[in-house]
Amino acid sequence: MDKISFVEYQKQANSLISEAGKKDMILNGVMGLAGEAGECVDLVKKERFQGHELNRDKLIEELGDVLWYIAETASGLNVSLDEIAEKNLDKLHKRYHGDKFNAFDSINRKE
Ligand SMILES: [Mg+2]
């Protein structure tokens, strides 16, 4: 499969939204996002506490499901995934002064 941009991903994800989902893309999006994030947590929980091997392929699949619901929520807000990614990086670069995560700046954040 060719590499795909956020713009193309969001466009294709939008084409897959159900009629029910289109009625409230923000609500459907955040509910789906919570559910899929929970599926990610469950895979790691099974590995850490229940003796399973970490199912890497399944975790990657679930991260894709998370991305899909992020795209749906973003579309409901009329914002692109590119814009969300840029704003997130801007925020983190400002918080950590262009450096890596550190506890001091995390604890003393201004936002
Ligand atoms: Mg899933």
Domain-by-domain residue ranges, the chain? 1-79, 80-111
Q: What is the pLDDT of residues 3-23, one digit of tens each?
A: 999 999 999 999 999 998 899
User: How remote is the CA of residue 54 from the centroid of ligand 1, in Å?
Assistant: 16
How far apart, in Å, are the Cα atoms of 44 and each of 39, 62, 91, 93?
9, 12, 28, 29
Is it true that domain 1-79 has CATH number 1.20.1500? Answer: no
Q: Is pLDDT at 102 greater than 90 in this prediction?
A: no
CB under 8 Å to 111, separation ≥6 — which residues?
A: 91, 95
Query: Distance, CA 65 to ligand 1 centroid (Å)?
Result: 5
Specify the residue for token string 């995390």. Answer: 106
Instruction: Give me ligand 1 centre to Cα 62, in Å.
Output: 5
Three-class SS state of 90: helix
pLDDT digits (tens, 9 = 90+) for 57-94: 999 999 999 999 999 999 999 999 999 999 999 999 99
Instruction: Quote the ligand 1 centre to 14 CA distance (angstroms).
Output: 17
CA of 68 to the centre of ligand 1 (A): 10
Higher pLDDT, 35 or 105: 35
